[in-house]
Structure 1
Amino acid sequence: MKEMTLYSMPSSGNSYKVRLLLALIGRDCAIVDVEDSSPEIAAAKAAGRLPFGKAPVLELADGRLLPESNAILMWLGQGTAFIPGDAYQQAEMLSWMFWEQNQHEGVIAVRGALLFYPSRKTLATPERLAELLERGYGLLQILEDRLAGRDWLVGESLSLADLALYGYTHTAGSRGQYDMSRFPAINRWCDRIAALPGYIGLYD
């Protein structure tokens, strides 16, 4: 039986958080890079490897395709310490993961993308960037308030919620040009994740 394959967009926080979990749990997986606007992503779409038209997608050893970053995290996280044993804490973890995709990603990641990808420069109007900046600060403050006085988002240890939100939060300053000096608890949390055994960076 062949190994798993991850169709991964190298510059994407959504793809990165899956690669980070794979590294932290020491799970082998072939990686196929499908960068934005590249021939490789066009080929993967044409071959039917990206069911929702975007990366990441995890192709299981039996050929089944699993899209959506947080769904992949849940599948990979089964049987690991990254999913709490307590039912309430599991639900709490999921609530942060849903919030990450429903609220956080659509602002923090979008502003970063408008500033980072040349193909999206025409969409980066001053008005749009200003709106995303204001909304982003509000979302980051929610995260800051949660992390004030605690190490992790749920319970007393790292969970999938932390990895899901780390994906785009840790580049909010460098890509999104948010002033991250306003969020000391987030910065300490990012440092804790970066110090984990097996940690890899966005481009590692």
Structure 2
Amino acid sequence: MYRLYDYQPSGNGYKVRLLLSQLSLPFEYIEMDILQGETRTAEFLAKNPNGRIPVLEIEPGYYLAESNAILFYLAQGTSFLPEERLAQTQVMSWMFFEQYSHEPNIATPRFWLCHVPELNPYQKIALPYKQEQGYDALAVMDRHLAAHQFFVAQRYTIADIALYAYTHVASEGGFELSRFANVCRWLQDVAGQPNHIPITQTSFSG
């Protein structure tokens, strides 16, 4: 059985939980409190030297880090990753977009506003700039979704899972999702997929 080291509010961890659930794969969930430094211990750093969650133990002593890499590993040979070379590349392109343009600017304001007791001077200055760039990323998504039900090959893939994780809770970072009609429609389509679980759920019973 897979063993997932995770932090329940994390969108990056939620990506992995969601795919595992939609693949009907059982997993053991191990909560790591990142706010209490539990991912900075020598024991955890032996699993992931970068000291971040999620980490998926695929078999005893073998660990995978980085949420989108874990998605790619789990999705191979399934309907969540197209077989066509171009479509696979497009999936990866959107997943790179998620990590470079989307997650840093949507997840960060959410973390600051929901999990930081008080913003420090840098965060107070940076927050509106992060939100502006987050809105830019949402606009890119909205334009694409105007002509596509999902992000790649008109079907639900790990590109959608990667982007859904932090988009569907973007309001917690001060974003007005109602400004993006196509994104809102897509969020509903993703939430309607079989074996979908909310971000607050940390197990899958089948």
With the length of structure 2 as denominator, give the TM-score of the two structures. 0.91
Partner residue of 1:132?
130
Does the 8 Å contact 1:6/1:29 carry over to 2?
yes
Q: Retained in 1: the 8 A contact 2:2–2:27?
A: yes
Aligned match for 1:66, one of 45, 64, 67: 64
8 A contact 1:144–1:186 mirrored in 2: yes
Q: Write out per-residue CA displacement over residues 47-77 of structure 1, whole angstroms, 9 at most, x where no aligned residue.
A: 6223311000111114211100000000110
Structure-1 residue corresponding to 2:11 = 13
- Percent of residue pairs identical: 36
Cross-structure match for 1:22:
20
Partner of 1:196: 193
Q: Give per-residue Cα distances to partners, 1:70-98, cap 9 Å, x unaligned.
A: 00000110111000111000001000001
Matches within 5 A, 1:64-103: 64-103=62-101
User: 1:29 and 1:194 mapped to 2: Cα distance?
Assistant: 21
TM-score (norm 1): 0.92
Q: For 1:29 and 1:97, how far apart are their aligned partners in 2?
A: 24
In structure 2, list runs of 5 or more residues that go unmatched.
202-206
Paired positions, count: 201
CA contact (8 A) 1:34 1:44 kept: no
What is the rounded CA distance, in whole Å, between the counterparts of 2:79 and 2:175 in structure 1? 32
Structure 1 residues 16 and 44: CA distance shift in structure 2, 3 A: farther
Give the CA deviation at 1:45. Answer: 4.8
